[in-house]
Chains A and B, each alone.
Chain A
Amino acid sequence: MGKHEEELAREMRRRGMSRRDVIRIGLQLGLGAASMGMLLAACGQSASTDAEKPAEEPAAEPASESIFDANAGNTGAWPVSAVADPGEKVEISVGHTWDAVFFERQLQFDKLFMERHPNIVVKAENTPWGEFRQKYTAAAAGNALPDLLYTQFSWAQETIRSGMYIALDDWIAKEKDFNLADFTKPSLVSYQYDGKLWGIPYDEGPGNLYYNKDLFDAAGEAYPDDSWDLEKLKAVAIKLTSGEGPNKIFGLGELPSPGDSLMAPNYLFPFGAQYLSEPKEDQCLINNPEAVAAMEWWEELRAKGAVPSPADLQNVAWPAFQFGKIAMTLQGSWATPPIAAGSKFNWDIAKWPKGPKAHSTFSAGSAYMITRDSKHVEAAWIYLNEYLSTAGQTYMWASTGRGSPSRLSAWPAYISSKFAPAGAKNVEEAMSQGIGTHDIIDQPTGPRVTQAAGPIWDLVVAGQKSVKDALAEVFAAVDPIVAENRG
Chain B
Amino acid sequence: MSIPQTTVAPPVPTGKPKMRDMARKEERSFYLFIMPWIIGFLLFDAGAILASFVISFTNWSALSAPAWTGTLNYTKLAADPLFYKAMGNSLYYGIGSVGLGTIVSFLLALLLNQNVWGITLFRTIFYLPSVVSGIAVAILWIMILHQDFGLVNSFLAFFGIKGPGWLVQPEWAMPSLILMSLWSAGGSMVIYLAGLQSVPTHLYEAAEIDGANTFQKFWTVTVPMMSPVILYNLIVGFIASIQGFVLVYVMTNGGPANATLVYGLYIYRTAFINFQMGYASALAWILLVVIIAITAIQFTVARYWVYYEGDLKQ
A residues lining the B interface (CB < 8 Å): 19, 23, 26-27, 33-34, 36-37, 40, 133-134, 137-138, 140-141, 158-159, 162-164, 245-246, 309-311, 314-315, 447-448, 451, 454-456, 458-459, 461-462, 464
Contacts and interface: CB of A to CB of B under 8 A. Distances in A.
Contact of A451 (B148, B169, B273): B273
B99 to A, nearest CB: 27
Given A33-B139, A37-B133, A159-B63, A455 B255 contact: yes
B275 interface: yes
6 contacts: A23-B135, A36-B135, A40-B135, A138-B62, A162-B63, A246-B149
A456 B136 contact: no
A26 B142 CA distance: 11
Contact of A462 (B168, B254, B258): B168
Contacts of A461: 256
A57 B272 CA distance: 33
By secondary structure, the B interface counts as loop
A410 B167 CA distance: 47
A34 B255 contact: no
A409 B257 CA distance: 46
Pairs of residues from A and B, 5 with the lowest C-beta to C-beta distance, nearest first: A162-B63, A458-B257, A310-B168, A458-B256, A33-B136
B63 A141 contact: yes
A396 B165 CA distance: 44
B61 A27 contact: no
A298 B291 CA distance: 46
Interface residues of B, number: 35
B135 A37 contact: yes
A137 B63 contact: yes
Contacts of A159: 63
B186 to A, nearest CB: 16
Given A37-B136, A456-B257, A458-B255, A140 B273 contact: no
A199 B132 CA distance: 46
Contacts of A27: 139, 142-143, 146
Contacts of A133: 272-273
B280 interface: no
B272 A137 contact: yes
A458 B274 CA distance: 20
A40 B146 CA distance: 20
Interface string B134-145: 011111101100
A454 B269 CA distance: 14
Contacts of B135: 19, 23, 36-37, 40
Given A137-B62, A310-B168, 11 more contacts: A27-B139, A36-B135, A133-B273, A137-B272, A140-B63, A158-B275, A314-B142, A451-B273, A455-B255, A459-B170, A462-B170
Contacts of B274: 447-448, 451
B147 interface: yes
A33 B140 contact: yes
B168 to A, nearest CB: 4
B254 to A, nearest CB: 8
B136 A162 contact: no
B148 A134 contact: no
Nearest to A159: B63
A451 B138 CA distance: 24
